[in-house]
Structure 1
Amino acid sequence: MRASLSVNDLFFSWPDGSTVLDGLDLGIGAGRHGLVGLNGSGKSTLLRLIAGELVPQRGSVSVDGTVAYLPQDPGADPTRTVSEVLGIAETLAALERVESGSTAVDDFDAIGDRWDIAERTEAELARLGLGHLSLDRPIASVSGGELVLLSLVARLLTRPSVLLLDEPTNNLDSAARERLIDMVAGWKGTLLVVSHDRELLNAMDDIGSLRGGEVRWYGGGFDDYEAAVAIEQEAAARAVRAAEADLRAQKRDRIEAESVLATRRKQGEKAWAEKRMPKIAMGNYKRRAQVSAGKLRGIHDDRLEDATARLTEAEELVHDDREIRVNLPDTVVPAGRDVLTLEGVRPAYGDLTLDLEIRGPERIGLTGRNGTGKTSLLRTVTGELDPAAGTVRTHVPIRHLPQRMDLLDGARTVAENVARIAPGATENERRAQLARFLIRGRAADQPASTLSGGERLRATLACLLLAEPAPQLLLLDEPTNNLDLPSIRHLVEALESYRGAFIVVSHDERFLDDLRLTRRIGV
């Protein structure tokens, strides 16, 4: 199974006029291709354009074969069942009727060429570690990681030749990530993956970097890409230093030339005043001096302009990756203060039961396989879900960053969302907080529905941290989902400086290690 896709002169902008892609060209063939770039650079938008979910204002997308697209937050109606999410409910029902003797044309149309759908579904579920899920199980009882894998199985069952994956390891535990990476390693068609997961990206044949509206390709996995970029950036930094030195030299030469011209001008004025030569000769001398001065100025101006252009060109090669500057509230929690008490708490979903007491600015990491109930536990702490057993007592203001990032109203602008969640803050305070999360100017006035996954997380964090009262306990559910690597580093720094308590649910081992947790609790 071989396929290819190409994008030519692609232009796309949101209704508010903000341009995402302008004149993008891209062509890839069969193989495993990773796509990286800063949050908001247009990676997810590009996948949606290729999948046909968005229509470009200019340019074309050509795909040789069928396309399947897995978004970074697949989402699903919680009342639906596993078979409905897999898209096989009607086919299975028609198969059952045919096996019972039905000859209805509608049943045969519903089956099509998928007579083996039950067997293929069972095999795909087992391959991705979901064999324990019954087809009639409601999605409300499925974990975020299980939903991602179920959504992937639904795409695989369509037998696509081109597979587009947007942050597919979000919410996956280590075992699930390994199974997904094994699936990716064995993919025979065309695969394009947007991800910040190093291990997954190291399984790619090449890495494309989307920057400034262009994609540049590097052979090998992510480690090879980083090494190549480091060499390029070192060379670019040297070029900037050389260009800066040249520009300084040209400025000095220009100043010296002006000094020489000024001396000559004074000498000429003195000779004119003293009438050392005939008036006609003096006039000719003055005109020749003016012409000579003009030429000299022109030469130095040209050299200065060239040096400035070389510096600008060199600076453009240096990556100026803006990174989030999280200013978490100064909420000091004394060492002995009660923050949270859980006594025999069993969430409505999952199989964990937990006793936990948090005092002072403790930082807790909560880990475990998909489906154990970690997300449900956080929702129980916030009061969104009633516990199946046990008691929950919160002693300080809390804020919850949910896994599915559904706090923002997509129809409102980012600034309007912040105003809704933090009505007590002034306009300047709201804008300043958004700016710390790299949401500045017009970006704050665009609808939340147009944000990339990483931008949505940053906007949500800004809303939470401006809310009143300020949080002394943060509940963070997979906070690194959809964040680029620079943003993850600064999120770590922000949480390290946070003076309240937090509980973080994550499958990102490197992230958890960097947080210097007080305790890690496996469930």
Structure 2
Amino acid sequence: MPASITLSKISWATPDGRPLFSDLDLSFGPERSGLIGRNGVGKTTLLKLVSGDIQPQSGTLSVSGSLGLLRQSVQVAPNETIADLFGVVGALGLLHRAEAGAATADELSAADWTLEARMAAALDRIGLDAEPQTRLAALSGGQRTRAGLAALVFTEPDFLLLDEPTNNLDREGRDAVIALISGWRAGAIIVSHDRELLESMDAIVELTSLGATRYGGNWSQYRERKALELAAAEHDLADAEKRLAEVARKAQATVERQARRDSAGRKMAVKGGIPRIMLGGMKERSETTGGDNARLAERRRAAAQEDAKAAREKIEILQPLSVRLPPTGLAANKTVLKMEGVTAGYRPDDPVIGDLSFAVTGPERIAVTGPNGSGKTTLLSLLTGELRPWAGTVAVMTGFAMLDQKVSLLDPSGSIRDNFRRINPQADENTCRAALARFVFRADAALQVVSTLGGGQLLRAGLACVLGSAPPPLLILDEPTNHLDIDSISAVEAGLRAYDGALIVVSHDERFLENIGIERRLELAGGEPVG
């Protein structure tokens, strides 16, 4: 029987009573399905339901086949090793005793002589050069993610359940995960905002406030379908609004005709040309006809309003953000920053950056790339003045803003609106509200306290506060797409495309770098001189 996962009439709400799913019907077969949707819509919750970590409050869920779950973060104990992660400590110990001639006959018959080769193959498949005895605490976060994925592949499950598997991975790690998934021939449900990874899917399942929709094909095919749906929704909205106007016009015309007939009847009555009994009948018919017409008009108006509301809801989900920003006034020949012969680090005689020289002129867009540990964050710390170089000079010659992954420039205890006014003291309330609205913080949404925002909202709020009124000539971003949903990434891309200043961004997301118009790259190698 083919492996399958079926959800039928599933309902689930958060502990505070907010419904995430209501009568959700979904099925997954032996194919790679990308699970997408805005942050907070329930993607991780759906994985937890499928894996059995939580139970549905109503409905049924059936799983045929084995599951392998990779969560967003791999928590490790201080002495835990890759062998622990694979669950083979005892089996490896048996092999080592056998090799030393200390195993009993019964143990020898139970030994798995292919174990080490299969472990090595699983680690190699995910591009991780490590031994079974390697402590997980000695690995970077990205390497632990890859080790966890290798351990899943080792068990050969019928379904992989992966929650943002390429988060925090450098280019090499992302390539390894994408290659693994591209060659995976069993089932997989993958929560991801990585559009490059989503290109290797067989299907895209989108969760929205309206429910779940399955689209056959990869990310590009999904986007084509969504563009068609957006055009259809816009057509439906225009048609519903046209019908609303037509219903109102016809209702008014009907009222006016009835008023003319009633007026004519009253004039005849005044002249005495109509018997009293007929006048009573005419009045009753007029009142009945008027009531019938009003009820008919109200039904038509309600139907058109409902159609318009449904179309607007779809457009709200489908419509990409478009942002217009004030100009920075940065001249094309203006030297923005210059680094000359810079060497820096955190421990004596162990430089992270060595003899680095580069300059930025005018509104250049530069990506800082390199493997994890190569010094990307160190470089940003040098540019912002948080770290002083051991040798060489760093000069930033314009105003700038830095948005790190935590968007530290925002006060978490204040509202988005209050942060905007603090960062842009020259802006009045109208300017503030208009700028925040451009980043979809309209009305009461602008009054949300920063500490309550999700990752995507947080970065969008940071961009709104920095770019919304008087953008600085230089913007520095550190891994801006980590933990963002695709809609939030699109919002960030829209904002950065509209920005006309200089841009320095650390990111491993190639699609993001392409979409924001990166012109130049600075590749770091960790303590190595860079030309």
Q: TM-score range by the shorter chain?
A: 0.7 to 0.9
What is the root-mean-square deviation of aligned Cα atoms in Å? 4.8
Partner of 1:305: 302
Which of 346, 368, 371 is the equivalent residue of 2:370?
A: 368
Gaps of 5+ in 2: 525-531
TM-score by length of 1: 0.76
Worse-matched range after superposition: 244-253 or 328-337: 328-337
Classify 1:310/1:328 alpha carbon distance in 2 versus 1 (closer, same or farther; 3 Å). Answer: closer
CA deviation string 1:201-243 (max 9, x = no partner):
2322222222225222222222332333333433333333333
What is the CA-CA distance between 1:365 and the residue it aligns to? 1.0
Partner of 2:343: 345
Classify 1:228/1:437 alpha carbon distance in 2 versus 1 (closer, same or farther; 3 Å). Answer: closer
Specify the SS of the correspondent of 1:225: helix
Specify the SS of the correspondent of 1:243: helix
Classify 1:391/1:227 alpha carbon distance in 2 versus 1 (closer, same or farther; 3 Å). Answer: same
Q: Is residue 355 of structure 1 aligned with residue 353 of structure 2?
A: no
Gaps of 5+ in 1: none
CA deviation string 1:94-122 (max 9, x = no partner):
45774557779xxx9xxx98775543332
Partner of 1:11: 11
Classify 1:445/1:242 alpha carbon distance in 2 versus 1 (closer, same or farther; 3 Å). Answer: closer
Classify 1:26/1:517 alpha carbon distance in 2 versus 1 (closer, same or farther; 3 Å). Answer: closer
Which of 284, 299, 302 is the equivalent residue of 1:287?
A: 284
Classify 1:516/1:236 alpha carbon distance in 2 versus 1 (closer, same or farther; 3 Å). Answer: closer
CA contact (8 A) 1:203 1:221 kept: yes
What is the CA-CA distance between 1:152 and the residue it aligns to? 1.8
Partner of 1:192: 189
| Distance in 1 separating the partners of 2:16 and 2:329 | 41
Classify 1:449/1:183 alpha carbon distance in 2 versus 1 (closer, same or farther; 3 Å). Answer: farther
Partner of 1:122: 120
CA deviation string 1:346-393 (max 9, x = no partner):
556997633334466553211234554434544566677897x65674
Q: Which amino acid in structure 2 is aligned with residue 345 of structure 1? A: T
Partner of 1:504: 505
CA deviation string 1:150-209 (max 9, x = no partner):
332233334433211233333445554443333223323320122333443232222222
CA deviation string 1:477-496 (max 9, x = no partner):
33223444454343234234
CA contact (8 A) 1:341 1:358 kept: no
What is the CA-CA distance between 1:267 and the residue it aligns to? 1.8
What is the CA-CA distance between 1:147 and the residue it aligns to? 4.2
Q: Which amino acid in structure 2 is aligned with residue 119 of structure 1? A: A
| Distance in 2 separating the partners of 1:333 and 1:442 | 32
Partner of 1:68: 68
Partner of 2:496: 495
Worse-matched range after superposition: 488-497 or 75-84: 75-84
CA contact (8 A) 1:415 1:444 kept: no
Specify the SS of the correspondent of 1:168: coil
| Distance in 2 separating the partners of 1:41 and 1:13 | 11
Partner of 2:217: 220
Partner of 1:480: 481
Classify 1:370/1:358 alpha carbon distance in 2 versus 1 (closer, same or farther; 3 Å). Answer: same
Classify 1:82/1:323 alpha carbon distance in 2 versus 1 (closer, same or farther; 3 Å). Answer: farther
What is the CA-CA distance between 1:450 and the residue it aligns to? 8.7
CA contact (8 A) 2:167 2:482 kept: yes
| Distance in 1 separating the partners of 2:199 and 2:313 | 28
| Distance in 1 separating the partners of 2:399 and 2:50 | 44
Classify 1:123/1:434 alpha carbon distance in 2 versus 1 (closer, same or farther; 3 Å). Answer: farther
Q: Is residue 83 of structure 1 aligned with residue 85 of structure 2?
A: no
What is the CA-CA distance between 1:256 and the residue it aligns to? 0.8
Q: Which amino acid in structure 1 is aligned with residue 367 of structure 2? A: G
Specify the SS of the correspondent of 1:259: helix
CA deviation string 1:467-519 (max 9, x = no partner):
xxx97754423322344445434323423444664421223333323333453
Classify 1:506/1:87 alpha carbon distance in 2 versus 1 (closer, same or farther; 3 Å). Answer: same
Q: Which amino acid in structure 2 is aligned with residue 124 of structure 1? A: A
Specify the SS of the correspondent of 2:301: helix
Specify the SS of the correspondent of 1:516: coil
Classify 1:202/1:253 alpha carbon distance in 2 versus 1 (closer, same or farther; 3 Å). Answer: same
Worse-matched range after superposition: 350-359 or 490-499: 350-359
CA contact (8 A) 2:95 2:113 kept: no
TM-score by length of 2: 0.75
Q: Percent identity?
A: 34
Classify 1:69/1:364 alpha carbon distance in 2 versus 1 (closer, same or farther; 3 Å). Answer: same
Classify 1:435/1:255 alpha carbon distance in 2 versus 1 (closer, same or farther; 3 Å). Answer: closer
Question: How many correspondences in the alignment?
Answer: 508
Worse-matched range after superposition: 509-518 or 91-100: 91-100
Partner of 1:136: 134
What is the CA-CA distance between 1:254 and the residue it aligns to? 0.9
Specify the SS of the correspondent of 2:117: helix
Q: Describe how 1:93-108 pairs up with structure 2 within 5 A.
A: 94-95=93-94, 98-99=97-98
Q: Which amino acid in structure 1 is aligned with residue 82 of structure 2? A: S
Specify the SS of the correspondent of 2:193: coil
Classify 1:516/1:309 alpha carbon distance in 2 versus 1 (closer, same or farther; 3 Å). Answer: closer
What is the CA-CA distance between 1:66 and the residue it aligns to? 3.6
CA contact (8 A) 1:11 1:58 kept: yes
CA deviation string 1:417-469 (max 9, x = no partner):
9799999579x999998776556758976996894x53454466678889xxx
CA contact (8 A) 2:95 2:112 kept: no
CA contact (8 A) 1:164 1:192 kept: yes
Which of 164, 167, 170 is the equivalent residue of 1:170?
A: 167
Classify 1:442/1:501 alpha carbon distance in 2 versus 1 (closer, same or farther; 3 Å). Answer: closer
